Structure 1
Amino acid sequence: MRYVITGASRGIGFEFVQQLLRRGETVDAGVRAPEMARRLEPLLHESGNRLRIHPLDVTQADSVKAFAANICREPVDVLINNAGVQGQWVGLHELDYADLERTFAVNALGPLRITSALLPALRHGLGRKVAHVTSRMGSLSSNTEGGAYAYRMSKAALNMGVRSMANDLRRDGLAFVLLHPGWVRTDMGGADAPLPPRDSVSGMLRVIDGLSLEHSGRFFDYEGTEVPW
């Protein structure tokens, strides 16, 4: 199977690459800057031609177009939209609207750009699955604490976009899923997070492996439990 992963150079994305290569899959990894690809280089040497690394800034149309031109030469079985940023966690009166716009550009618009650009290859794949790493913090009913405006709002927008894509592309046989990875011990999650990346990613891969059109457009956590909207 051929997997495409965005935000693949660190954290959850890097763990996805590791686990998929260990399973014997082929992986195309999108990374924002060349220097961020260095962590992937040992995996490149170990896996040979099963890992390919591509520059990708999901906020830039030209970058996405060039990425898609490389990727769409062959069918894609599974796309994992993982690239994301946290944004500033500040109060309402401290909001930096430039930061808010950038967080939306990465977390909400980036997955739309990538999915749209890779549709030709996804339609010809065997898997026909698209997974989006979101967050329970984008759930309206789970928001009992407030704050984190940029992150919460961008993930809620992503969730709605995925529901629309699931409805629009069901006739093409494409299945979409939203995944909450848990509070993961990464640069974004911080050292106090209780969940190691390997457990989060192995759980999300189980959900992706079992994904069918019956589940398309639904929101699950890494343990396979449905998350309220």
Structure 2
Amino acid sequence: MMSYAVTGSSRGIGALAADPSNTVFALVRSKSSAQKLQDFVAGHAHKNVHILEADNDNIASIKTAAKEVAKITGGTLDVLIANGALMHHERNGLMLDEFPDENVLDDDMLTFYKTNVLGTIHLINAFLPLLRAGTTKKCIIIGSALGSHKFARRSEVLQYSGYSMSKAALNIAAARYASKYKGEGLIFLTITPGLVKTLQGTPEEVEKFFSSEEARIRERYPAFEGAITVEQSVRDQLALISRITVDRSGDFVNRDGTNVEG
């Protein structure tokens, strides 16, 4: 029997819940705004999914969620998947020297850092005792190629500065945890899920966006596979999580297990 806590997204919950021996904790910012997830849980045959509130910007909610998980599992957790992140912002298209003024720049950068970096660190710290008490001992951070220094240089992407820098900072955080807990068999791994088709909008708008992104990336990376479905990304990530071993702890990897450049 395996226990999973997944924060920030309902993607992958169905795949994990399909195994009746799994216990799955879906951590959401607000239960009231997670109606689709509630409907899934209500109609799911195995009744092995628990919805708990945990907001990256609310330390108390994270600690409460960890306590609730501990009550159900007896104080352990096998796998923590940290997928909660702020990405979309009205000024994502601005380069660092294009903000209206210094205060706006500061506020935006600090918002990304607080939610994506500190929020994830607080999450890990709250669940760390459960992971240490478990047998599988895996903490997975969902990263992004935008957090890679080499990708930033090669792709010349100028947008998403706050998001990109926060993801780069998380790579360092994962490496720090890996260095401290490798001797205990804990695995900290950052996975980039690929360019996943998750954009909201009409089919035409979605197709236009991803076609443009694919063309732009292939200019620098001719072998780029293109955008993939949520199902494919989740399947590959879960397969990687199941087979990863402690010698890879602290790595920043693609969903197939190969190392992300820089």
TM-score between both structures, scaled by the size of structure 1: 0.91
Q: Which residue of 1 aligns with 2:79?
A: 78
Partner Cα distance (2:183, 2:200) in 1: 36
Contact 2:6 2:26 in 1 (8 A): yes
Structure 2 gap segments, 5+ residues each: 211-226
Once the 2 structures are TM-superposed, how far is the Cα of residue 47 of structure 1 from its aligned partner?
Answer: 4.0
Cα displacement string for residues 75-126 of structure 1 (whole angstroms, at most 9, x for unaligned residues)? 1000000011114421222164322222112221122111111111111212
Q: How far, CA to CA, are the matches of 2:39 and 2:169 in structure 1?
A: 36
The residue that corresponds to 1:205 in the other structure is 238
Output the CA distance in 2 between the equivalents of 1:63 and 1:26.
Answer: 20
Q: Distance in 2 between matches of 1:195 and 1:61?
A: 34
Partner of 1:184: 196
Aligned to 1:134: 143
Contact kept in structure 1, 2:138 and 2:187, CA below 8 Å: yes
Q: Does the CA-based 8 Å contact 1:203-1:224 persist in structure 2?
A: no
1:100 to 82, 103, 109: 109
Task: Percent identity, please.
Answer: 29
In the TM superposition, 1:1-229 aligns within 5 A as: 1-7=2-8, 13-24=9-20, 25-45=22-42, 46-73=44-71, 74=73, 75-86=76-87, 87=89, 88-89=91-92, 90-92=94-96, 93-94=98-99, 96-144=105-153, 145-147=156-158, 148-187=160-199, 191=206, 192-193=209-210, 194-229=227-262
In the alignment, structure 1 segments of 5+ residues that lack a partner are 8-12
Distance in 2 between the 1:149 and 1:188 partners? 22
CA RMSD of aligned residues (A): 1.8
Are the aligned partners of 2:142 and 2:191 in contact in 1 as well (CA < 8 Å)? yes
Q: For this pair of structures, how many residues does the alignment match?
A: 224
Question: Contact 1:81–1:132 (CA<8 Å) still a contact in 2?
Answer: yes
Greater gyration radius: 2
1:213: Cα distance to partner?
0.7
Shift of 1:43: 2.2
Inter-CA distance 72–188: structure 2 relative to 1 (3 Å threshold): farther
Deviations 1:148-192 (A, max 9, x none): 210110000000000000001112221111100111111489823
Tell me the CA shift for residue 19 of structure 1.
0.9
Query: How far is 1:31 from its partner?
Result: 0.5
Instruction: Tell me if structure 2 keeps the 8 A contact 1:21–1:47.
Output: no
Pair 113,57 (structure 1): closer, same or farther in 2 beyond 3 Å: same
Deviations 1:192-219 (A, max 9, x none): 3421100111111111011111110111
